[in-house]
Amino acid sequence: MQLQDIGEFNFIDSINSDVINDASTVVTGIGDDCAIYKANPEMEQLVSIDTMVEEIHFSLRYMTPYDVGYRLMTANLSDIAAMGGIPRQVVLSVAAPKALDVAILDEFYKGIKDQCKLHHVNILGGDTVSSQEGIVLTVTIIGEVPRGTAVLRSGARPGDIVGVTNYVGYAATGLGALSYGYDGYDMTILGHQRPDPQIELGQALRMHGVTSMNDISDGLASELHEIAKASGVNIVIDEQIVPLHEETYTLAKSLGTRPVDYALYGGEDFQLVFTAPKELEDTLKKIGQITIIGQVLEGNNIVQMVTKERKIETLEARGYNHFGN
């Protein structure tokens, strides 16, 4: 069955179940001109939007529709995580060709709803339109954080340490393995298809007093530059300590590429990169899943890496650039 067979309104009716996971904050959900939600007056509201375009952000050759929905939510939840926030509400827009199989959209929604349920987030509404070609999915997410405590990109100070969560370069390894049709990359392929946002770690890092934070959507080099620029500092990291998965080393070896480049320029890991006062190092390590990879220096926007050969390499602000080549 195609979207044109059931029409816009039947489609909207069909998704209006399992959308509220925390009824205490909802006055009116799907079904009116606007949704109404209740914000906690003790908290500040976080709001962010991200879009996923077919064949740019995902391909149904490499991902199931369920994965696409799941990862769409992850990309948005990840921006809330990067502020140390608690995700609460989403509204989402779907543009799809009239001839799209309804079963594909149902699967997108399963992925979206499962991820929302996991994080107690409500789907308050959305928009459904037709496109001439390809699927475009957009989510606006609302989260909250106790007043004045959100972790910005601008708080890094000389002397701070730089840390990351889990592995970086993980999703790019999986995408590479998929595009070359390689076997034996199960973990990183899952990292591309079903990445998870670091919501709990983001909140833990905020509560421990990290000074700046960013999520890794475009690649470590680009995210470090954003922190360096916003904070007016230099950053130096050590190639030898950047946490890469075994499969990243294997893929790099077989393609003759440098392993750390997957972390620096790959993106879509949805891990967190942060800075913190040096005296927090031991406490932060005790949280687990955290590696200290460098330090913040006085300066203005320069990001460098000490290579395995112990040479200093200046990193460009190069990550994924939609209008680059």
Ligand X SMILES: Cc1ncc(C[n+]2csc(CCOP(=O)(O)O)c2C)c(N)n1
Q: What residues make contact with Mg ion under the rule CB under 5 A? A: 50, 79, 215, 217
269 makes contact with ligand ATP (CB under 6 A) = no
Q: Give dist(CA 9, CA 19) in Å, integer.
A: 17
Least spacing, CB of residue 324 vs ligand X, in Å: 11
Least spacing, CB of residue 245 vs ligand ATP, in Å: 21
Cβ atoms of residues 300 and 235 within 8 Å: no
79 makes contact with ligand ATP (CB under 6 A) = yes
Least spacing, CB of residue 322 vs ligand X, in Å: 6
CA atoms within 13 A on the CB side of 246: 4
DSSP string covering 147-209, please?
Answer: TT-PPPGGG--TT-EEEEES-SSHHHHHHHHHHHT-SS-HHHHHHHHS----HHHHHHHHHHT
Least spacing, CB of residue 24 vs ligand ATP, in Å: 28
Q: CB-wise, 35 or 75, nearer to ligand ATP?
A: 75
Among 3, 35, 50, 236, binds ligand ATP (CB under 6 A): 50
DSSP 39: P
218 makes contact with ligand X (CB under 6 A) = yes
The reply, when asked if residue 32 is annotated as ligand binding, is no
The reply, when asked if residue 153 is annotated as ligand binding, is yes
The reply, when asked if residue 217 is annotated as ligand binding, is yes
The reply, when asked if residue 154 is annotated as ligand binding, is no
176 makes contact with ligand X (CB under 6 A) = no
The reply, when asked if residue 309 is annotated as ligand binding, is no
DSSP 219: -
Q: Would you call 309 helix, strand, or coil by DSSP?
A: coil
Q: Give dist(CA 270, CA 273) in Å, integer.
A: 10
300 makes contact with ligand X (CB under 6 A) = no
> Looking only at residues 196 through 225 of this chain, which bind ligand ATP when binding is defined by CB under 6 A?
217-218
Q: Give dist(CA 281, CA 288) in Å, integer.
A: 12
| Alpha-carbon separation of residue 67 from 58, 88, 186 (angstroms) | 9, 21, 15
Q: Which parts of this chain interact with ligand ATP (CB under 6 A)?
A: 50, 75, 79, 217-218
Interface residues with ligand X (CB under 6 A) are 50, 55-59, 175, 217-218, 267-268, 320
Residues that constitute the known binding site for ATP: 109, 126-127, 153, 217
* Binding site feature residues for substrate: 57, 268, 320
